Amino acid sequence: MSIRHPSSSSSMGIGEVAEPPFAVLPNADRLFARRSERFSELAGQTALEPYLQFLAQLSGIQHELAAITPEPPPSLPRARPPLCMELTLSADMSDWEPADHCVRSFCERLASADTTTPIRSALASLLAASPRQRRALAGAALLGTPEPEDVAPCVLAVAGLQPLFTRLASVLDLDELRQHHNDRTCPACGGPPAVSSVVGWPRAANTRFCACSLCGTQWHVVRIKCLMCGEHGGIGYLTLEGDTRSSVKAETCDGCGHYVKILYQVDDPGLEPVADDVATAGLDIKLETDGWCRGGRNPFLLGY
């Protein structure tokens, strides 16, 4: 494991001042297509190729669903974090109905695709479950507390929710968004971040944004700060020794013992938060072996 420091490169012109927006809403018409493309690009570069190819297929189906997912009805709570927890844990099943429809539609489409026997078994189990059971599985995935035997159904349940939440987030009013609790809570849906990214956007180069693992919203967070405990001291940046993918690092915190991956899109614009997080699972394995606790949450890394 080697320690490296963030790049200081910038795409802003001389005299420009970074003025990052509070948040950037997802493009529901493009997010999953780009993610599918990135999973395919990364598949041939890692031993995780079969899994990444499956996730490329899964993301393609999510893209299809996002394209036909209408704006959710007014009865569905909007921008009232933690929205994802309300939908999955509240006692009111009526709020869950449109979300459950998306989960079932996703499972039915994936079931008709060419998948492995374990995936088909997990899909059959999820489709045979009651709406209340599907909601409980999605909630366990979002909370990071699935039972070992439920990991696959939990992952698929959240995958079915992502197109809906992305579509919902994409039509929110940015002026109405606020940071409700802390930097590790998505202001649009209340979901957790998968990773953070140092971006190279115009007038925002070298600023950091967290990427929601559920709806795809990105929100601005200052750099050199632990996303888990908020401390600024004791922050380090780790990569695997000899890793050529130096644009993906782990930001570690000596204070709380957590880490969250940080992607340097300012150096490599092709990085995609969810896909590149999964593709660098080897870094997670090494860090957790060394005693660090993962802070970012990515449904496709449940069970790893």
* Phi-psi map region of 56: left, alpha, beta (phi>0 left; psi -120 to 50 alpha): alpha
Between the CA of residue 211 and those of 120, 124, 163, what are the distances in Å? 30, 31, 15
Domain end among 170, 200, 218: 170
pLDDT band at residue 17, thresholds of 50, 70 and 90?
low
3-state SS assignment for residue 60: helix
Q: Examine the pLDDT at 100 and tell me if it is beyond 80.
A: yes
Whether residues 164 and 291 fall in one domain: no
Task: Find the angle CA(82)-CA(86)-CA(87) to the nearest 5 degrees.
Answer: 120
Give CA 4 to chain center in angstroms.
24
* Residue labelled with tokens 């959240």: 158
Whether residues 18 and 49 fall in one domain: no
Higher pLDDT pick, 2 / 60: 60
> What pLDDT does residue 203 have?
87
Whether residues 179 and 291 fall in one domain: yes
Q: Examine the pLDDT at 171 and tell me if it is beyond 60.
A: yes
Strands 293-294 and 258-264: parallel
Domain end among 170, 204, 222: 170
Provide the number of structural domains found in the chain.
2
Domain that holds residue 184: 2-24+175-301
**Torsion angle of the four alpha carbons 270, 273, 279, 283, in this order, in degrees rounded to the nearest 10:** 120
Per residue in 106-159, pLDDT (tens digit) is 999 999 998 999 999 999 999 999 999 999 898 888 888 889 999 999 999 999
Whether residues 58 and 184 fall in one domain: no
Higher pLDDT pick, 66 / 203: 66
Domain end among 139, 170, 201: 170
Whether residues 122 and 166 fall in one domain: yes
- Compute the chain's Rg from CA coordinates: 19
Higher pLDDT pick, 242 / 187: 187
Mean pLDDT across the chain, nearest whole number? 86
**In this predicted structure, which of 13-22, 48-57, 242-251 has the lowest mean pLDDT?**
13-22
How much is the pTM? 0.89
Report the percent of the chain where pLDDT is more than 90: 64
